[in-house]
A and B are shown apart, each in its own frame.
Chain A
């Protein structure tokens, strides 16, 4: 009976997961290994390959373009993770109470999240425009010289960062709100009886209780800020001016699909993957330590 059952379970289990796993194997697992494989080769996009060992990785470390792209990615990542998380947290605290008003606010705040990145990118390209852009209209009002935000190498990355945060922060506000709802209200009551003030309650109850939510948000935001940036870069700046916004994912895509250097581009993507693994690992370790 039991062996019969377990055989049946085995067949049923595998047939239930088979279709999904087939797709995931062919289009995720296999390409992932293929990417790793390609990174040790000189390759073109249609498949011609020649083994070069560590050649691509050596070239990577000696490429000034790559070093710049990595630096830009790091700066972008730090800015997005820090500013977006703080903004989302403060906003969550603010819209937490007052049911009707906060439901209304949440709906409004959420509009940028559901607008596609292509549309958001072109919208902000207009807002940053040197001639008719909204921000320059404001600046002219207070007699500041017109700026070409996306054409100025010293400003383009900040302009891109602002746009990406504008689009994504409400999403993380929602996650914070879900986390806030999980905190037992009794904690606040007893803290208030003990005379703890607003700030004290924030530091001693809210933030410690949200540890797991914060860790989750940091993990997701880090990954998104490194990986989910192809569209805004492609649409708004194409990596310019002077490669100041050429984030790694876009740089690799450009190397592969515009310049045909597939092996080199693959090594960039492998680097992105390893880098993200290391950062996530460090974040998880720090998160665990704080848990104790």
Chain B
């Protein structure tokens, strides 16, 4: 059915519209790729070459004298492996913890009838209106008083549960047929058992989708680490890029771009592999939101 419609759609359109479509497609493709390609090429140029890029020529997108010097300098100015491991550690820990806490709460909201659950769920949704950007000011003295300032815990504990995650998982659990649990209940399974043995395995795809979103969010996080972490030894990836830019190496554009390439390549690879799940998340929030 869909194919048939698509075909007629294509064939019914007069030539001019097809041409407009093609032009817009190419335009969007160019606008998306050109900046990335250009930035990528900068990572492989010497500073001299960068400063001398004045006009458009055949070297605009490909370095004239490709060099990996920027990467060598990058690794000697910032402890890249350490920054990577720390960022990975924080991101993974937040992801795992928030998947567990969010699904537990989501399951309760989807299945268990307890008092005030409607009110509590509404309260939960209301917290979506106050993102961390708005709360960063009162959070600072609070984190300080809790003794978490300048510690990795300040990047992990506040973010290991969130309303969006609970809402997302609840939508999934609501869609699971009740019969599965009822059978298990009759067999005398406890809720906890049902949750871990039946619901979690069923929710694998939803968990990957949500996990990927949380992980990417943490990997990109900048406002929170730049506000709460002051020592260089606990620098996370995005802050490190800012550090390369604003610190000692101000005129070393090449290093900055090398850092950007190093920070971006892994995340693009992860995305290419798990794309399907990421997109599924967007689709479901789009429809059900």
Which of A23, A116, A122 makes the CB contact (< 8 A) with B158?
Answer: A23
Interface check A203, CB cutoff 8 A: no
Q: Give the complex CA separation of A175 and B166 in angstroms.
A: 20
A142 to chain B, nearest CB (A): 10
Are A31 and B139 in contact (CB-based, < 8 A)? yes
Q: How many A-B residue pairs have CB under 8 A?
A: 278
Q: A107-B275, A122-B245, A123-B35 are in contact. Are A188 and B42 (CB under 8 A)?
A: no
Question: 1/0 per residue A238-260: CB within 8 Å of B?
Answer: 00000000000100110011000
Contact B286 A124 (CB under 8 A): no
B170 CB, nearest partner CB in chain A, Å? 11
**Residue numbers in B under 8 Å from A122 (CB-CB):** 241, 245, 256-257, 260
Contacts of A127 in B (CB 8 A): 35, 38-39
Query: Counting chain A CB atoms within 10 Å of each CB, which of B34, B142, B284 scores highest?
Result: B142
Q: Check A134–B272 contact: CB distance below 8 A.
A: no
Q: Which residues of A contact B279 (CB under 8 A)?
A: 106, 174
Distance, CA A72 to CA B113, complexed state (A): 48
Contact A105 B104 (CB under 8 A): no
Asked if A65 is at the interface (CB within 8 A of a chain B CB), the reply is no
Chain B interface: which of A53-61, A94-102, A153-161, A284-292? A94-102
A137 touching B238 by the CB < 8 A rule?
no
**Residue with the highest number of chain A CB atoms closer than 10 Å, among B131, B272, B275:** B131
B138 touching A273, Cβ below 8 Å = no
| Best-buried of B2, B28, B166 by chain A (most CB within 10 Å) | B28
A156: shortest Cβ distance to chain B, in Å? 18
B138 partner, pick from A35, A112, A216, beta carbons under 8 A: A35
A94 near B139: Cβ-Cβ < 8 Å? no
Q: What is the bound-complex CA distance between A13 and B107, given in angstroms?
A: 9
Q: Is A230 an interface residue (CB 8 A)?
A: yes
Residues on the A chain within 8 Å of B102, using CB: 20
Cβ distance A205 to chain B, nearest Cβ, rounded Å = 12
How many A residues, CB 8 Å from partner? 100
**A273–B130 touching, CB < 8 Å:** yes
Residue numbers in A under 8 Å from B129 (CB-CB): 273, 276-277, 280
Give 1 or 0 for each of B257-289: 1 = CB within 8 Å of chain A CB: 100100110011001100100010011111101
B225 to chain A minimum Cβ distance, whole angstroms, is 11
On whether A12 and B112 interact (CB within 8 A), knowing A38-B138, A182-B287, A231-B222, the answer reads yes
Question: How does the 8 Å CB contact mask read for A139-180 relative to B, with 1 for contact and 0 for none?
Answer: 011000000000000000000000000100011001111110
Range class of the B interface residue count = 35 or more
Scoring A17, A21, A188 by chain B CB atoms within 10 A of each residue's CB, the highest score goes to A17
Q: Is the CB of A9 within 8 A of B137?
A: no
Contacts A23-B160, A35-B137, A231-B223; is A29 near B127 (CB within 8 Å)?
A: yes
Contacts of B82 in A (CB 8 A): none
Spot the interface stretch: B51-59, B70-78, B176-184, B200-208: B51-59
Report chain A residues within 8 Å CB of B54: 131-132, 137, 140
B123:A175 contact, CB within 8 angstroms? no
Q: In the complex, A177 Cα to B287 Cα: how many Å?
A: 10
Interface residues of A in 26-69 (CB under 8 A from B): 26-32, 34-35, 38, 45-47
- Of the candidates B51, B107, B120, B286, the one whose C-beta lies within 8 Å of that of A131 is B51
Q: Contact mask B1-21 → A, CB, 8 Å, 1/0? A: 110011011101100010001
- Determine whether B140 belongs to the interface, using a CB cutoff of 8 Å to chain A: yes
Contact A95 B25 (CB under 8 A): yes
Which chain B residue shows the least CB distance to A162? B31
- CB-CB under 8 A from A17, the residues of chain B are 104-105, 108-109, 120
CB distance from A58 to the nearest CB of B (A): 19
Which residues of B pack against A, CB within 8 Å? 1-2, 5-6, 8-10, 12-13, 17, 21, 24-25, 28-29, 31-36, 38-39, 42, 50-56, 60, 101-102, 104-105, 107-109, 112-115, 117, 120, 123-124, 127, 129-131, 133-142, 144-145, 157-163, 166, 191, 195, 216, 219-220, 222-223, 226-227, 237-238, 241-242, 245, 253, 256-257, 260, 263-264, 267-268, 271-272, 275, 279, 282-287, 289
8 examples of A-B residue contacts, CB within 8 angstroms: A19-B161, A35-B137, A35-B138, A105-B28, A111-B32, A185-B1, A269-B137, A280-B129
